[in-house]
Amino acid sequence: MSGVTDERDSIDGDAAQRASGNSLATDARISFRRWLVKTSRNPYVTFTSLVQPVIFFVLMAEVLGAIAGGALAQSLSSDVTYVTYLTPAIIIQSALAAAAVSGIGLVDDMETGMFDKTLLSPMNRSAMFLGKALSEVVRITAQTGIIVGLGYLLLVLKPGATAAQYLQTGLPGILGIFVVTVIFGGVFMAYSNIVALLTRDREATVMIANLLTFPLLFISSAFLPLDVLPGWIQTVAVVNPITYGVDGIRALMLGQDVMTVFEVTAFGGLWNTVVPAIAVLVGFNILLGGAAVALLKRASRAEVQ
């Protein structure tokens, strides 16, 4: 605990009459720790949101990998293995699976009354949601790390394959991948919380999360280069956040500009993908995050609803 909060705690002598206030950081940490403990209590949830992408990873690499060579050679270069190409998609899939259930915790808290209870505590409300979001960021980051490692293993263990093309940008690239993944996660965390706040229903939140995961992946640049896919998919992919998450990570892994939804040449090399990808994802965050915050404010406002 920081010195500031300790001081504030001790200043408040009449704790019996009025509870003392915490700093914003302390409040965020209280909430963060609570949600982290809850996540660790439910290893099943983390496990499934990791297992599904991993199964997908192996199957897609085997099945699509057998035929994807030509498409990859056409849009990128013949050195790029399909595993390397697929890794960003799987990272995004696992981040999506984790982020899209973010609203469930909120609905649970509303159903059990924990939501009202926290609202009635002197805790800072923004800090309380920030803490929850941070615990999900930790989970997404951990899953991302595992998948990056797994992709490497798949390449190394496969006879005849080479890991030479895997992660061209080294350690800074990994950090970059974390950044893109977390920003991407924010979009769907916001989305899931919007659904949760609108429906106030656990089942609806779970179902919409599941419903979303698969189709969105296929109408993006996740599994194959967009230019070999039908025209309507190319069109939808432009407004699909997954395209930007996948392209951003893929550019960092391959060390080159991979974005095809629009052409940017101002930054040079891989930055021509990473910069616009992050910009678009931040835009989605502002849009959906703003809506989620507005709904959250409405839900926690002490007015007759």
Partner 1 sequence: MTLQQARHQSETEADSSERHTAIGAEDVHVTYDDGTAAVRGVSLDVKEGEFFGFLGPNGAGKTTTIKTLVTLLYPTQGAVRINGYDTKADPQAVRESIGYMAQETSIDFELTPRENLRVACRMYGVPREERADRIEELLDLVDLRDVADKRAETFSGGMQKRLDTATVLVHRPPVVFLDEPTTGLDPEARLRVWNYFEKINDQGTTVFLTTQYLEEANELCDRLAILQEGQITHTGTPAALKSAVGTETLTLALDDPSQENRRRARNIVRQRSALDTTAIERTADGLRIEADNARSATSDLFTELSAAGITITDFDIQSPTLDDVFLTLAGEKGEGKDSADSEPTSVQEVVR
State the binding string over 18-57 for partner 1 (x if CB under 8 A, else -): xxxxx---xx--x---x--xx--xx---------------
Tokens 């991407």, residue located: 184
Instruction: Give the nearer residue to partner 1 in terms of CB position, either 16 or 66.
Output: 16
Q: Which of 2, 4, 6, 211 binds partner 1 (CB under 8 A)?
A: 6
What does the alpha-carbon distance between residue 248 and residue 128 come to, in Å, rounded to a whole number?
30
What does the alpha-carbon distance between residue 219 and residue 238 come to, in Å, rounded to a whole number?
9
Binding of residue 3 to partner 1 (CB under 8 A): no
Rounded to a whole number of angstroms, the minimum distance from the CB of residue 38 to partner 1 is 5
Instruction: Give the nearer residue to partner 1 in terms of CB position, either 58 or 110.
Output: 110
Instruction: Give the nearer residue to partner 1 in terms of CB position, either 12 or 227.
Output: 12
Instruction: Give the nearer residue to partner 1 in terms of CB position, either 1 or 207.
Output: 1
Rounded to a whole number of angstroms, the minimum distance from the CB of residue 132 to partner 1 is 12
Site for partner 1 in 83-142 (CB under 8 A): 111-114, 116-123
Instruction: Give the nearer residue to partner 1 in terms of CB position, either 122 or 268.
Output: 122
Closest C-alpha among 221, 11, 200, 183 to residue 99: 183
- Residues contacting partner 1: total by CB under 8 A: 38
Tokens 């030509």, residue located: 70
Instruction: Give the nearer residue to partner 1 in terms of CB position, either 49 or 81.
Output: 49
What does the alpha-carbon distance between residue 240 and residue 247 come to, in Å, rounded to a whole number?
11
Token pair of 49, please? 């949101």
Rounded to a whole number of angstroms, the minimum distance from the CB of residue 289 to partner 1 is 24
Site for partner 1 in 160-179 (CB under 8 A): none
Binding of residue 158 to partner 1 (CB under 8 A): no
Neighbouring residues of 128: CB distance < 8 A, sequence distance ≥ 6: 27, 28, 30, 31, 118
Instruction: Give the nearer residue to partner 1 in terms of CB position, either 113 or 159.
Output: 113
What does the alpha-carbon distance between residue 295 and residue 186 come to, in Å, rounded to a whole number?
16
Q: Are 128 and 31 in contact (CB under 8 A)?
A: yes
Q: Are 180 and 245 in contact (CB under 8 A)?
A: yes
Position 55, amino acid: I
Rounded to a whole number of angstroms, the minimum distance from the CB of residue 46 to partner 1 is 13
What does the alpha-carbon distance between residue 89 and residue 57 come to, in Å, rounded to a whole number?
9
What does the alpha-carbon distance between residue 222 and residue 215 come to, in Å, rounded to a whole number?
11
Instruction: Give the nearer residue to partner 1 in terms of CB position, either 125 or 158.
Output: 125
Position 189, amino acid: M
Rounded to a whole number of angstroms, the minimum distance from the CB of residue 185 to partner 1 is 22
Burial tier of 54 (Cβ tally within 10 Å: 0-12, 13-18, 19+): middle
Interacting span for partner 1 (CB under 8 A) from 5-13, 158-166, 272-280, 290-298: 5-13
Binding site for partner 1 (CB under 8 A): 1, 6, 8-10, 12, 15-22, 26-27, 30, 34, 37-38, 41-42, 111-114, 116-123, 302-305
